[in-house]
């Protein structure tokens, strides 16, 4: 595994350096994305090898900086995330080799490719780091590189604002992660993760609770839980689409890695019940509000960004249930909840990256991200439409897709709450399951809107009418992820044993033999008597039913002549103006949840001079209230600006005054130290 790790690092480093050594865009493209793709292949092999290995790979190099050790550890948890990052990185790299033509003449292809390799390398090292100081350095590098990629088109004012917003939020999160590690450092005197795992004495309960919240806020800001999610709809649309796929597909998952590492590894899985319940509430709120706000978005990439909030909530639901079960000694159910969360982690990485690449293909072909300007694209872009449809049905968790398998396991872990001794939790977990069911229904409506308004009916703009299929490399990247979604859905017998190797060391019990039955063809939540399902058999039944229907139609229609004619339109010629719009599609849901959305509607009408009953012009505007920005972030920003304005008085421009500040500070520090 050492050779594989060396090869992985070498490929990324070459991919970062070689594009900067030439001025020819073709070679820059080849070097950058070829090396990134090669690193992806090596990373996939390394991740699988790490999952199958019986002993972790540990490497370290001391430094002259106190408490900093360049330590790397490939254990099953790190290997799983290396595998996830590499799978999406491989697809994004192949896709980008054709997609970067969109930026030709406006952005340096070499610099963009170099930053891509650096970004992938930083994410990989983040999950491999085995020292808190080293982890924080890599976390900051990952954040800065992702910021640089978000502001690729920095000449656009909206992009600069989105990048700044993201930079502020990510550094707020980093500050809380630093606090978390400082709490462990205070107890152990070291930033070594091994010392965090095996301290000489346990942290006091109060400090453990503080560490729980600082980790939740710190990593939650990166992963996008409500109310720390507000940067996602700004940053993801601003970034190039292959970068959006990486940020939403795997970057925010590094925060999931951080939460699991802190709670189940550093804290040994020992926590009070309310920690898991807090995570359960955060997951429920994030899942429901994420999909609700996604429904109101008409920018395709903003819609997908809000969907990331929803799916992070689903992952947290599995983790929260696992923590609750672990508290009460139900280790098999704890392993099931954590396994379900990790299964949805890799599933979300696959289908969300696929959808972002599909959105990039639509933008590449139409030069717009607005769903209202799409329509009729399935006939013009059949391969893109097919791949996007696979991602859409996966994110909607329709059987037998990969999203269905992991969400079904999350549901089962929540329904197994009847084994808990607490009546309160026996009620709360099924309520969370009910909220997840509502989330699933809204997600189905959302993807129906995204796919239907984009690919079906007639083109609603000149952009859509003149669209053509994207280059082959972009199709290969999307096709790889579409195939991955299919495998993850139809072959849980391959996925569950690998995930069991991750959860077993963290929960103390292996459950793959109990989750899988009939040689892996059936998935069951610990016991087949409770419930079970077989996605391969379900897929065969669906395909067989479809084939039988086609056969019967052919037999019954034998000898009949097919006639094609335009759709009846009440005597009128159908035009794109008569189509159902994305705004109209979401309007009923907006009315149902009006208390949450707080919509504002503005209607301006101009009538003919001859009669007030005939409208000459009409203008309609509708938008929803950004509740969290209005009631949480704007007041905080206003307070900070007002405070800063008052403190400007100490910045008098006098050197003597500044020296006085320094002198007084030193005196106070000496008195405090004495």
- pLDDT tens digit string along 506-518? 998 999 888 888 8
On whether residue 67 sits in a domain, the answer given is no
Do 636 and 594 lie in a common domain? no
User: Could you give the 3-state DSSP secondary structure of residue 199?
Assistant: coil
pLDDT 10s digits, 465-499: 999 999 999 999 999 999 999 999 999 999 999 99
Residue 261 · residue 181 · CB < 8 Å: no
| Same-domain check for residues 431 and 530 | yes
- For residue 610, the model assigns a pLDDT of 66
Percent of the chain with pLDDT over 70: 98
Same domain, 423 and 521: yes
pLDDT digits (tens, 9 = 90+) for 300-338: 999 999 999 999 999 999 999 999 999 998 999 999 999
Q: Is a pLDDT exceeding 70 seen at residue 90?
A: yes
Q: What is the pLDDT of residues 538-589, one digit of tens each?
A: 999 999 998 998 888 888 877 777 777 777 767 677 777 778 888 888 888 8
- List pLDDT tens digits, range 375-427: 889 999 999 999 999 999 999 999 889 999 999 999 999 999 888 998 999 99
pTM score of the predicted model? 0.92
In a domain, 483, yes or no: yes
489 occurs within a structural domain:
yes
Longest alpha-carbon distance in the chain: 103
Higher pLDDT, 610 or 519: 519
Q: Is residue 485 part of a domain?
A: yes
pLDDT averaged over every residue in the chain: 89
Tokens coding 423: 């009546």
Q: Does residue 407 lie within any of the structural domains?
A: yes
pLDDT of residue 527: 65
Q: Using CA atoms, how far apart are residues 451 and 9, in angstroms rounded to an integer? A: 39
User: What's residue 637's pLDDT?
Assistant: 84
Tell me: do 519 and 663 sit in the same domain.
no
Regarding whether 655 and 525 lie in a shared domain, the answer is no
Q: How far is Cα 273 from Cα 337, in angstroms, rounded to an integer?
A: 15
Nearest Cα to Cα of residue 11 among 46, 45, 37, 47: 37
Claim to verify: residue 477 and residue 437 sit in the same structural domain: yes
Write the CB contacts of 51 (distance below 8 Å, at least 6 apart in sequence).
76, 79, 80, 83, 498, 501, 502
Say what the pLDDT of residue 413 is: 92
Q: What is the DSSP letter of 107?
A: S
Q: Which of 132-136, 147-151, 312-316, 526-530 has the lowest mean pLDDT?
A: 526-530
Confidence band, pLDDT 50/70/90 cuts, at residue 30: very high
Residue 508 lies in a domain: yes
Q: How many distinct structural domains can be found in the chain?
A: 3
Residues 473 and 591 in one domain: no
pLDDT tens profile 599-634:
877 777 777 776 676 776 777 777 777 788 888 888
Query: Considering 527, 553, 579, which residue would you say is the last residue of a domain?
Result: 553
pLDDT category, 241, cuts 50, 70, 90? very high
Contact present, 121 and 16 (Cβ < 8 Å): yes
Is 656 found in the same domain as 599? Answer: no
Q: Note the helical H segments in 151-251.
A: 157-188, 193-197, 205-223, 232-238, 241-246
Any domain includes 479: yes
Do 457 and 511 have their domain in common?
yes
% pLDDT > 90, the chain: 59
Environment class of 27 (CB within 10 Å of its CB; exposed 0-12, middle 13-18, buried 19+):
middle
Question: 112: pLDDT confidence band, cut at 50, 70 and 90?
Answer: very high
Are residues 456 and 500 located together in one domain of the fold?
A: yes
Find, among 484, 322, 337, 485, the residue nearest to 403 by Cα. Answer: 485
Q: How far apart are CA 178 and CA 183, in angstroms?
A: 9
If you count DSSP H runs as helices and E runs as strands, how many of each does the chain have, helices first?
28, 6
Range of the domain at 617: 587-623
Query: Mean pLDDT over residues 171-188, rounded?
Result: 92
User: Burial letters for 240-277: b for 16+ Cβ neighbours within 10 Å, e otherwise?
Assistant: bbbbbbbbbbbbbbbbbbbbbbbbbbbbebebebbbbb
Average pLDDT over residues 347-375: 93
Alpha-carbon span 493 to 41, nearest angstrom: 23
Whether residue 533 is found in the same domain as residue 614: no
Is residue 430 assigned to a domain? Answer: yes
d(CA 525, CA 539): 20
Radius of gyration of the chain (CA): 27
Q: Does one domain contain both 546 and 634?
A: no
pLDDT at 674 over 70: no
CB 159 within 8 A of CB 153: yes
Which pLDDT does position 352 carry in this prediction?
95
516 - beta bridge partners? Answer: 523
Among candidate residues 535, 553, 571, the one where a domain is terminated: 553
pLDDT, mean of residues 631-652? 83
């Amino acid at each position: 595994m050492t050779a594989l790790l060396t090869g992985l690092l070498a490929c990324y480093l070459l991919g970062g350096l070689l594009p900067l050594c030439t001025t020819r865009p073709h070679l820059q493209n080849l070097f950058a994305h070829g090396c990134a793709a090669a690193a992806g292949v090596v990373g996939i092999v390394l991740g699988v090898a790490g999952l199958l290995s019986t002993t972790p790979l540990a490497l370290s190099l001391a430094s002259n900086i106190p408490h900093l050790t360049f330590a790397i550890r490939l254990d099953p948890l790190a290997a799983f995330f290396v595998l996830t990052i590499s799978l999406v990185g491989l697809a994004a790299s192949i896709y980008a080799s054709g997609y970067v033509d969109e930026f030709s003449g406006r952005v340096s292809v070499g610099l963009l490719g170099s930053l891509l390799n650096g970004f992938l390398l930083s994410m990989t090292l983040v999950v491999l780091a085995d020292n808190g100081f080293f982890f924080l350095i890599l976390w900051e590098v990952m954040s800065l590189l992702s910021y640089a990629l978000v502001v690729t088109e920095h000449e656009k004012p909206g992009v600069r604002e989105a990048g700044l917003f993201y930079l502020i939020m990510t550094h707020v999160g980093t500050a809380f992660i630093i606090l978390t590690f400082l709490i462990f450092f205070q107890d152990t005197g070291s930033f070594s993760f091994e010392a965090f795992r095996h301290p000489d004495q346990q942290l006091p309960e109060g400090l453990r609770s503080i560490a729980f919240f600082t980790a939740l806020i710190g990593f939650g800001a990166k992963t996008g839980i409500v109310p720390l999610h507000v940067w996602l709809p700004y940053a993801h649309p601003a970034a190039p689409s292959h970068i959006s796929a990486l940020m939403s597909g795997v970057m925010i998952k590094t925060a999931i890695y951080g939460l699991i590492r802190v709670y189940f590894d550093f804290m040994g899985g020992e926590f009070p019940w309310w920690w898991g319940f807090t995570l359960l509430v955060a997951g429920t709120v994030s899942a429901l509000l994420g999909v609700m706000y996604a429904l109101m978005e008409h920018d395709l990439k903003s819609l997908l960004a809000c969907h990331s909030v929803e799916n992070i909530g689903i992952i947290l639901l599995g983790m929260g249930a696992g923590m609750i079960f672990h508290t009460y000694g139900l280790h098999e159910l704890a392993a099931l909840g954590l396994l379900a969360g990790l299964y949805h982690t890799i599933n979300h990485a696959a289908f969300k990256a696929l959808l972002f690449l599909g959105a990039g293909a639509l933008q590449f072909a139409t030069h717009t991200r607005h769903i209202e300007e799409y329509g009729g694209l399935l006939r013009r872009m059949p391969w893109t439409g097919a791949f996007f449809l696979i991602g859409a049905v996966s994110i909607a968790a329709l059987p037998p897709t990969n999203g269905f398998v992991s969400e079904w396991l999350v549901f089962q872990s929540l329904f197994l709450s009847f084994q808990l001794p607490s009546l309160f939790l026996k009620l709360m977990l099924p309520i969370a399951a009910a909220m997840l069911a509502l989330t699933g229904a809204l997600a189905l409506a959302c993807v129906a809107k995204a796919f239907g308004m984009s690919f079906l009916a007639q083109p609603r703009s000149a952009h859509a009418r003149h669209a053509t299929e994207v280059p082959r490399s972009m199709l290969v990247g999307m096709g790889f992820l579409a195939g991955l979604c299919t495998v993850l859905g139809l072959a849980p017998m391959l996925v569950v044993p690998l995930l069991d190797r991750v959860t077993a060391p963290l929960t103390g019990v292996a459950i793959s033999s109990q989750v899988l039955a009939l040689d892996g063809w059936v998935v069951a939540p610990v016991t087949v008597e409770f419930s079970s399902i077989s996605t391969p058999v379900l897929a065969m039944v669906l395909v067989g039913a479809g084939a039988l229907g086609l056969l019967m139609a052919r037999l019954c229609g034998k000898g009949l002549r097919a006639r094609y004619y335009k759709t009846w339109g009440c005597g009128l010629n159908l035009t794109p103006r008569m189509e159902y719009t994305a705004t109209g599609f979401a309007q009923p849901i907006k009315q149902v949840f009006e208390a949450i959305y707080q919509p504002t509607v503005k209607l301006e009408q101009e009538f003919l001079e001859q009669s007030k009953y005939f409208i000459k012009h009409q203008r309609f505007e509708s938008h929803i209230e950004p509740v969290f920005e209005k009631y949480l972030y704007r007041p905080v920003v206003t307070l900070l600006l007002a405070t800063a304005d008052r403190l400007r008085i100490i910045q008098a421009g006098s050197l003597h005054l500044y020296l006085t500040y320094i002198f007084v500070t030193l005196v106070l520090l000496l008195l405090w130290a004495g």
